[in-house]
Amino acid sequence: MLQNSGDGNLPDIQQPDNEKPKCVVCGEFTNGQHFGKFSCRACAAFFRRTVASKMKYICKFDQNCEISKDVRNLCRFCRYQKCMDAGMISDAVQIHRDSYGKRNVQNIRTVDVELEDPTQTTISTNNATFDPSLNNYFSNSTRPTFESMNPSINFSNNQQPNNIILPHLTKMAEGYHKFRSLRKASYSLFMDIPRFVDTKNIPESTYSNNKKSCQVESSLAYDMLIEYFEPFSDLPMNDKEKLFENFQALFSCAEKGYNTSRAYGSIEDNDRLIMTDGGYIKLSDMTKFYSHCDEVRGDPEEVARFFEASITYAVKIAIPALTKAEVDDYIMVAIYGLCLFEEGVTGISKETQKIALNVKDVLLKELYYYFRNKNYSDEEMNLRMSKTLLLVPKFQQITRLIKENFHVAEIFLLCETPKAYK
């Protein structure tokens, strides 16, 4: 039942007998109270991050944006304002210490993963045995099968595994699908031509649109990681920042490659690359991409030559490899998880290094069973696993090349650098 709060605006929600309470911010179902109010993990993490980091936001509209579970990431100003209006308590955020879940980190250190049977999986620790939800490791996870997943999730090539429990990759794939939907909706706010609608009517990209889109994509990607790529949200703030700083440019490059593979992968001698804004550029006419843009200060033809080698590597090396590996959404989130939880990132704690290694073990074993479920021969399954894992150094190479290009371009004042590549 709902009872009106003292201020007469938003209600204080008490949990019904047969239904979970809803988040006072976005309306998503919750599992309990955070900072004094029923709120989902995503909104609680957003509120905690905002208060702990003393973030300030600006609304681009009239400070009255809709905040619901499907569009809660579009305006951070209005989302935070709704948190405050709902009565979430900022003083409950413990800024002086790690407020991002050390209670869970301690359990992760000793996890020993055993995955022998995909239909009857156990995860052992020194003290107890847990099911694949890793209740103390990946908090509040369920154990969904692909048959019980949201049917709206769009796996490429219509390949959905059956009768197999892959809880962590399943949740990550759900988050990735949501990210793609939010990205498309967000771009519609500042672009005239719809993006990521179909592969037949893809517009041309411009450097201006691409730079704006990089910021939006990076923000949405961070929210996706917080909500769906467990246990990222439970790591110390400093470690989260360093892992994301290492990851965001690679994610942007990999998204370009994956979107291009889906749209043009079957075209022989393809020379197009889909950029962050959802539009394409052509290797044979890169000058056009850099023309008539305030963010490009140098001669467009010179800037195009400057980035030609890195774009050529992406189009001619990485994208054909993606196509040959027959990558789908499920495989991509596995790659993203492996790249996000990189134990070699400078400056992260030893605890987070151990967690990262453990998470990668879990993801690799679930990816193994994903391929195994397709009834490939041992040789074919090993080949597909290898092709998938060999994509990681290709994404790393593209990222390194483009970052180097931007670094030198910034020195010579050729163009403004998107934040993700700084």
The pLDDT tens digits of the residues spanning 78-107 come to 999 999 999 988 888 876 443 334 434 333
Sheet containing strand 112-114, strands side by side: 112-114, 122-124, 129-130
Burial tier of 319 (Cβ tally within 10 Å: 0-12, 13-18, 19+) = buried
Tell which wins on pLDDT, 155 or 413.
413
Concatenating the DSSP letter of every residue in 305-354 gives HHHHHHHHHIIIIIHHHHHHTT--HHHHHHHHHHHHS-TT-TT--HHHHH
pLDDT of 112 reads 33
Question: What is the set of domains in the chain, with CATH numbers?
Answer: 2-92 (3.30.50.10), 102-421 (1.10.565.10)
Scan for tokens 């596995």, then name that residue.
Answer: 334
- Alpha carbons 227 and 40: distance in angstroms, whole number: 9
pTM of the model: 0.67
Beta-bridged to residue 296, according to DSSP, are 415
Burial tier of 292 (Cβ tally within 10 Å: 0-12, 13-18, 19+) = exposed
Please say whether the beta carbons of 259 and 205 come within 8 A.
Answer: no
Q: Reply yes or no on whether the pLDDT at 32 is more than 60.
A: yes
55 C-beta neighbours (distance < 10 Å), count = 11
193: Cβ contacts below 8 Å, ≥ 6 apart: 203, 279
Beta-bridged to residue 129, according to DSSP, are 124
pLDDT of 369 reads 92
Residue 113: pLDDT band with limits 50, 70, 90: very low
Please say whether the beta carbons of 55 and 93 come within 8 A.
Answer: no
**pLDDT > 90 in the chain, percent:** 58
Q: Which of 118-122, 180-184, 352-356, 392-396 has the lowest mean pLDDT?
A: 118-122
Please say whether the beta carbons of 308 and 243 come within 8 A.
Answer: no
pLDDT of 95 reads 61
Tell which wins on pLDDT, 204 or 5.
204
256: Cβ contacts below 8 Å, ≥ 6 apart: 273, 274, 275, 276, 314
* Mean pLDDT within 111-135: 32
352: Cβ contacts below 8 Å, ≥ 6 apart: 105, 235, 236, 239, 243, 343
pLDDT averaged over the chain?
81
Main-chain phi, psi angles of 114, to 5 degrees? -130, 125
Q: Reply yes or no on whether the pLDDT at 285 is more than 60.
A: yes
Please say whether the beta carbons of 89 and 229 come within 8 A.
Answer: no
Please say whether the beta carbons of 368 and 385 come within 8 A.
Answer: yes
Tell which wins on pLDDT, 230 or 53.
230
Q: Reply yes or no on whether the pLDDT at 295 is more than 80.
A: yes
- Alpha carbons 7 and 139: distance in angstroms, whole number: 33
Please say whether the beta carbons of 172 and 226 come within 8 A.
Answer: no
Burial tier of 390 (Cβ tally within 10 Å: 0-12, 13-18, 19+) = exposed
Main-chain phi, psi angles of 331, to 5 degrees? -70, -35
Concatenating the DSSP letter of every residue in 256-281 gives HHHHHHHHHTTSTT--EEE-TTS-EE
What letters, b where the CB count within 10 A reaches 16 and e where it falls short, cover 86-119? bbbebeebeeeebbbbeebbebbeebebebeebe
pLDDT of 119 reads 33
- Alpha carbons 21 and 17: distance in angstroms, whole number: 10
Structure-block tokens of residue 268? 């022989």
- Alpha carbons 398 and 172: distance in angstroms, whole number: 24
- Alpha carbons 93 and 382: distance in angstroms, whole number: 47
Q: Between vectors from CA 352 to CA 348 and to CA 354, what angle results, nearest 5°?
A: 125
Structure-block tokens of residue 66? 């809709």
Q: Reply yes or no on whether the pLDDT at 275 is more than 50.
A: yes
Residue 131: pLDDT band with limits 50, 70, 90: very low
Question: What is the number of H-type helices and E-type strands within the chain?
Answer: 13, 9
